[in-house]
Amino acid sequence: MIDPAPYSHCPYDGEKLVDKADDPAGHGVCARCGFIDHQNPKACVAILILQGANVLLVRRGVEPAKGEWEIPGGFVEAGESAEETVVREALEDGFATGGTVQGGAAGEGGETGGGGNTESPLVALVRGSDWATAVLDAIALVGGLPDLTGKTVLLKPNVVNSNPPPVTTNPEVIRGAIRAVRARGATTVLGAEAGAMPGRTRQSMQTLGIVQVCTDEAAEAVALDDTTTTPRRPPGSGEWPDGIPIFQTVLDADYVINLPCLKTHATVSVYTMAIKNWFGCIPQPLREHPNTLGQKLAELHLAKPEDFVIADAVMPMVTGGPDLGGDTADARIVIASRDVVAADVTGLCIEKQFGPRSGAVWNLGVWEHPQLRRAMELGFPGWLTSPQNFTYAQQGVDEHAEIMAWRDALRDTQHTFPGIAVIATGPRPHSPSAPA
C-alpha cells in the first residue's frame, strides 16, 4: 500500500496549506482558493455510451465546471459494486433505466455532445414485456425527468372503474412511473384518480392492484372523489362559464404526470388518451358529453396542465370502449412525452396502425380531432400548436416508421405537412395506403 505524502502547498495557486479548522484528520486547506487536501482516493465509474460515431456526453449541473460537458459517471457508494454504480448514476442522470447494464441499448435521443443531437426527441415509443422498465426506458429516451428533490408528484392514471386494462391503466406502468420520480428525488408520490362512479374509486384501485403497487413502491393511492375542489376560471376556458372545479390535491402537486391508457370511445369524444384523461381531475357529475366535448376537454387543462405524459399502449382498445366489449390490439408499447398533443397524436397513430380500416378514428386524420385542434389553438407552453414534423425515438418497435407515418396522412387540406423527422435507425417513414 502506498502512503502518499500530503501537499505542503496548494497545487493550484502555490499558497501554503494550513490545518483545516475543526478537522481531526488534519486536512490541509488553502486559505486563498479553498482547496482541501483530502488524501482519500475514491473508486469512481465512467460510462461510455456510443451511438454510431457519437459519444454520449452530459452537461454538468453543479460546480465545479458547471455547464461543461463530460462523460457521465460518479463515485461508488459504500456497499455498491461498480456495475450497480453505473445503473444508479445512469438513472439519476435520466438517460438509462434501472435494468441490467449488459446488453442495454444506448438510448436514441437525449442531450448529447460530440456532434450528436442537441435536443431530445419529443416522443418515445418503447416495446417490451416488463412495463415498469419500459416506462423508465421511454422517459430516458425523451431526456429524462427534471430534478424532483423534495417535490410532491401526482400520477394521474385512468381508473374509470374496476375493469382491467385496457379499460384502465396497467398497474405496472404506474409502478414504473413511481420508480422514475423516486429516482429523481420526489418526496411524496400520489397515485390519484376520481373514477366514473363517485365513492368507488378506492375500491377500483384496490381491485386493480394499484393500491398494492403504490404500497410496494412507497407511494400513496388517493381517491380524488373523497377530496375537495377549488374552482378555477383561467383565460380561454369559454366552455366552462361557471369555472373549472378541479380537485385541490391536483392543484397542490408540484409536478403532475398524466398516465392514460389508449382506447376508442363510443361517444362524441371518439378516443380517450391524455387530453380526455383529465376528466378525472373534476367531479363526475360535471363530466358532461356535449357536442363541444372536444373543446371542453382541452380547456380543462388550463386549470392545471400536466408536466409529462406516460401513455399505456400495451393493449390498446381499437373498437368500442371506453368500457369492456371492444376489440384490443397486442401493441405492447409505452409512450412518453413532455407534450400532451404529441402524445395523443402518437396514440392515434397506434390506433390507426392496429385498428380496423373503418370507424371514427379511421375516418379522421390524426390532427383533425376536436380535442387536439382546441389544444393546439390554446397554445399551451411546450405543446405543439400546429401539425408538424416532431421528432421521436423508439426502442424495439420494428414497425415504428409505419406507425408514425400516420401523422402525414392528413385529410384536412388546409394544412401542409413536411417530411417526418425520426431519431431512429431504418428507412424514413411513408404514408400508409388509403383504404379502397
Which tens digit of pLDDT belongs to each residue from 385-420?
999 879 999 999 999 999 999 987 543 333 333 333
Sign of torsion over alpha carbons 95, 393, 179, 340 = positive
User: What pLDDT does residue 25 have?
Assistant: 64
CA distance 13 to 191: 54
Please tell me the CATH code under which domain 1-41 is placed: 2.20.25
CA distance 351 to 356: 9
Residue 238 CA, distance from chain mean position: 29
- The verdict on domain 123-408 having CATH code 3.40.50.300 is no
**Pairing assessment for the beta strands 18-19 and 28-29 based on DSSP bridges:** antiparallel
User: What pLDDT does residue 131 have?
Assistant: 95
Does position 103 have pLDDT exceeding 60, yes or no? Answer: no
Which tens digit of pLDDT belongs to each residue from 234-265?
999 999 999 999 999 999 999 999 999 999 98
Closest CA to 280 of 154, 116, 105, 436: 154
Does position 56 have pLDDT exceeding 60, yes or no? Answer: yes
Does position 92 have pLDDT exceeding 70, yes or no? Answer: no
Q: Compare 84 and 228 and report the one with higher pLDDT.
A: 228
Mean pLDDT of 360-387: 94
> Taking the domains of the chain in order of start, what are their residue ranges?
1-41, 48-117, 123-408
CA distance 366 to 405: 11
**Do 157 and 203 touch, CB atoms closer than 8 A?**
no
**Do 334 and 142 touch, CB atoms closer than 8 A?**
no
Does position 423 have pLDDT exceeding 50, yes or no? Answer: no
pLDDT class of 65 with cuts at 50, 70, 90: confident
User: What pLDDT does residue 115 have?
Assistant: 26
At position 183, the amino acid (one-letter code) is A
Q: Compare 373 and 426 and report the one with higher pLDDT.
A: 373
Share of the chain above pLDDT 90, in %: 57
Task: Show the cell assigned to 428.
Answer: 424514413
Mean pLDDT of 312-341: 93
Which tens digit of pLDDT belongs to each residue from 165-199?
999 999 999 999 999 999 999 999 999 999 988 88
Does position 48 have pLDDT exceeding 50, yes or no? Answer: yes
Query: C-alpha dihedral over 223, 195, 330, 268, to 10 degrees?
Result: -150
Q: Compare 198 and 230 and report the one with higher pLDDT.
A: 230
CA distance 281 to 258: 11
Q: Compare 42 and 35 and report the one with higher pLDDT.
A: 35
- Average pLDDT in the chain: 83
User: What pLDDT does residue 91 have?
Assistant: 66
User: What pLDDT does residue 410 have?
Assistant: 47
CA distance 232 to 225: 17
User: What pLDDT does residue 51 have?
Assistant: 62
387 contacts: CB under 8 Å, gap ≥ 6: 367, 407, 410, 415, 417
Does position 202 have pLDDT exceeding 80, yes or no? Answer: yes
Residue with cell 462523460: 71
CA distance 419 to 74: 40
By mean pLDDT, which of 63-67, 147-151, 343-347 is the weakest?
63-67
User: What pLDDT does residue 60 have?
Assistant: 78
Q: Compare 151 and 36 and report the one with higher pLDDT.
A: 151
Closest CA to 133 of 362, 336, 271: 336
User: What pLDDT does residue 415 have?
Assistant: 36
Same fold, 1-41 and 123-408: no
Which tens digit of pLDDT belongs to each residue from 133-146?
999 999 999 999 99
Mean pLDDT of 216-234: 96
Q: Compare 187 and 29 and report the one with higher pLDDT.
A: 187
Does position 424 have pLDDT exceeding 60, yes or no? Answer: no
Closest CA to 108 of 61, 83, 142: 142
Closest CA to 257 of 137, 337, 375, 345: 337
Q: Compare 50 and 365 and report the one with higher pLDDT.
A: 365
Q: Output the 3-class SS for the chain.
A: CCCCCCCCECCCCCCECEECCCCCCCCEECCCCCCEECCCCCCEEECCCEECCEECCEECCCCCCCCCEECCEEECCCCCCHHHHHHHHHHHHCCCCCCCCCCCCCCCCCCCCCCCCCCCCCEEEEECCCHHHHHHHHHHHCCCCCCCCCCEEEEEECCCCCCCCCCCCCHHHHHHHHHHHHHCCCCEEEEEECCCCCCCHHHHHHHCCHHHHHHHCCCEEEEHHHCCEEEECCCCCCCCCCCEEEEHHHHHCCEEEEECEEEECCCCCCEECHHHHHHHHCCHHHCCCCCCHHHHHHHHCCCCCCCEEEEEEEEEECCCCCCCCCCECCCCEEEEECCHHHHHHHHHHHHHHHCCCCCHHHHCCCCCCHHHHHHHHHCCCCCCCCCCCCCEEEECCCCHHHHHHHHHCCCCCCCCCCCCCCECCCCCCCCCCCCC
